Structure 1
Amino acid sequence: MCCSINMDASDPILLGKVRDKFCNDYKSNASLYDECDLHRLMANDWYVKRFLMAQQLDVDNTVVMIREALRWRKAFGVNDRKDCDFPLEFYKTGAVFAYCPDREGRDVIYLRVKLYRHFPKFSDYFRQYFLHIINKIDVQNEEKGWAMVWDMSGTGPSNWNLSIVRFIISCLRNYYPRGMRYLVIYGVPWIMTAFVNIGLKLVSEEARNVVKFAAKDQIFGFVEAENVPDFLGGKCVQNYHEVPKEAVRDCHDLAAERGINADETDAVLKFYEHYLTD
């Protein structure tokens, strides 16, 4: 059902229709949802607006999108995870982290692609960790949105995994619409150009419009030098390797809990040993 041409995503009538239709599904399938997400949907207008905007204000399609997103959140356990659930090495490497705001006051998530290597037994936990960071920043910034920087400098084919790229794209498109305001892809080596182009073909033209490319000092057009981490030539001294106080488990603890053998765990720690030195 499409709305009147005079309405926008903030219209109370539209918001009410979406909530009413969703509640009908919730009553029949309550076990598929997390009550925290239901409360947020009912109390936070932005959480409804973002899906309405993604569906061009079509109420029925918006309800379907919200239904799928909230069911995914329950199945993936988004609300169940805390900082302490992840091994301290995940933080120490500084491979993925939230950092200081950009020029518009939006928090920025950095992904150092050269620090990614596909370790099959740990792949699911990396996805959970990455989504944990995105979810925290998304909740904190709400309608203001947030940004992401993929640092591609020093990368090669071994750092690229299409399944992870598909996972990130799917999550941002289907479960966090209108959250990321832009993505800066920084320092793409010539050998990785084809891989990046493949990734861009997986997204819509609208999504490609929020992708920006930067090299060297061009990053400062998005984020002031005082807020950019040192590996991108910035002057910020905030520690992006900091481990939350409550995070005390390490990769060996995780491996023991999940039945991952010591050789596989040692391979991960060997790859990151340079970044794990206290």
Structure 2
Amino acid sequence: MFRRKHTHDHGEIDSSQQDAKVKELKLALGTLSGRSSKLCTDACLRRYLEARNWNVDKAKKMIEETLKWRATYKPEEIRWHEVAHEGETGKVSRANFRDRDGRTVLIMRPGKQNTTSAEGNIRHLVYLLENAILNLPEGQEQMSWLIDFTGFSVSTSLSVRTARDIINILQNHYPERLAVAFLYNPPRIFQAFWKVAVRYFLDPKTSQKVKFVYPNNEDSVELMRSFFDVENLPKEFGGNATLEYDHEEFSRLMAEDDLKAAKVWGFGDKPCNLANGPVGDNVALKSLPNGYLKAEVAPEPF
């Protein structure tokens, strides 16, 4: 989570033991090919081992389940034009600034929920998780989340089942990808949703990464400043920057990243309806409302 010590059933594990565990897991998985080999880097194996307290057998089982899921769900093949309608209001977007450790930041605004499709919401989030990972700097494995509860209500919240499905995907197939999630100024009505639909399904390690922060709480303010430069942090989160979402601009950026993702995963020649416009022929940009995240200050060095 916050770079705490790695432990397993027999106590602390040092870096040489970690390296040995990675090699052991690699041998246990056997020869991998195609996208599986691209996914299962040493860094990836470390994340799965850490998620399973450095137990090789448990980490192996976890990775194999992820490989099965990815073979069916194919998250790396989701393209922006397929999920763009879910993002029209900017309910989830990648920020154009990073935290103090250089991590990609996802900004979530549940009060801007615009659809009732469980699968649509899940695919949209999975797409943005993959995109956030694609944009991580070299050597960085984790991302940060900023969640703004402005406008949140029961009518805009996800169902318990959808929340559970999202949590299962995050915990089982993206282990140790989340560094910290800031729930900024959540209303009382969210407390019940948190207890019933969210916290119950979180494992202890993930739960510790979730931070409730409030603008009038001095400790909360200091916590936010320890992770972010206030000149880049939007006002909605206690900073000085202006947060705007321009859906047309964001769509253009995502279309560019789709081409980059295709090359990374080795299917650069696969047609993705991107050749004739920012989001393909299936989407008319002029019909999309405004919205990308723009912090109107100089971005932090990446």
What's the TM-score, normalizing by structure 1? 0.75
Aligned-pair CA distance for 1:102:
1.5
Change (3 A) 1:39 1:190: closer
Matched, 1:187 2:185: yes
Change (3 A) 1:193 1:176: same
In the alignment, structure 2 segments of 5+ residues that lack a partner are: 1-7, 253-277, 293-302
Q: Give the match's secondary structure for 2:182.
A: strand
Any conservation in 1 of the 2:86–2:114 contact (CA below 8 Å)? no
**Pick aligned residue for 2:233 from 228, 234, 240:** 228
Matched, 1:81 2:78: yes
- For 2:110 and 2:56, the matched residues in 1 are separated by 38
Aligned-pair CA distance for 1:243:
3.0
- For 2:17 and 2:130, the matched residues in 1 are separated by 23
Any conservation in 1 of the 2:148–2:183 contact (CA below 8 Å)? yes
- For 1:37 and 1:230, the matched residues in 2 are separated by 41
1:192-207 matches, cutoff 5 A: 192-198=190-196, 199-207=198-206
Change (3 A) 1:107 1:5: closer
> Hey, what does 1:62 align to over in structure 2?
59
Q: Per-residue CA shift, 1:23-76, capped at 9, x if unaligned?
A: 26x6xxxxxxx82232331xx211110001111111111110000011111211
**Pick aligned residue for 2:251 from 226, 244, 266:** 244
> Hey, what does 1:172 align to over in structure 2?
170
Q: Per-residue CA shift, 1:247-271, capped at 9, x if unaligned?
A: 146679xxxxxxxxxxxxxxxx9xx
**Pick aligned residue for 2:132 from 137, 141, 159:** 137
Matched, 1:94 2:93: no
Change (3 A) 1:214 1:37: same
Query: What is the RMSD computed on CA atoms of the aligned residues?
Result: 3.2
- For 2:19 and 2:238, the matched residues in 1 are separated by 46
Q: Give the match's secondary structure for 2:123.
A: helix
In the alignment, structure 1 segments of 5+ residues that lack a partner are: 27-33, 253-268
How many corresponding residue pairs? Answer: 246
- For 2:69 and 2:78, the matched residues in 1 are separated by 14
Q: Which one-letter code corresponds to 1:213 in the other structure?
A: F
Any conservation in 1 of the 2:230–2:241 contact (CA below 8 Å)? yes
> Hey, what does 2:215 align to over in structure 1?
216
Q: Which one-letter code corresponds to 1:247 in the other structure?
A: V
Change (3 A) 1:6 1:53: closer
Any conservation in 2 of the 1:96–1:110 contact (CA below 8 Å)? yes
Any conservation in 2 of the 1:184–1:214 contact (CA below 8 Å)? yes
Aligned-pair CA distance for 1:109:
0.6
> Hey, what does 1:105 align to over in structure 2?
102
Change (3 A) 1:275 1:110: closer
Q: Give the match's secondary structure for 2:251.
A: coil
**Pick aligned residue for 2:23 from 16, 21, 35:** 16
Any conservation in 1 of the 2:145–2:181 contact (CA below 8 Å)? yes
What's the TM-score, normalizing by structure 2? 0.70
Q: Which one-letter code corresponds to 2:228 in the other structure?
A: V
Any conservation in 2 of the 1:18–1:59 contact (CA below 8 Å)? yes
Give identity over the alignment, percent.
19
Any conservation in 1 of the 2:105–2:144 contact (CA below 8 Å)? yes
Change (3 A) 1:275 1:79: closer
Q: Per-residue CA shift, 1:109-131, capped at 9, x if unaligned?
A: 111011125523xx312211111
Q: Per-residue CA shift, 1:133-184, capped at 9, x if unaligned?
A: 1112124336441111221222111122212221221122111111101111
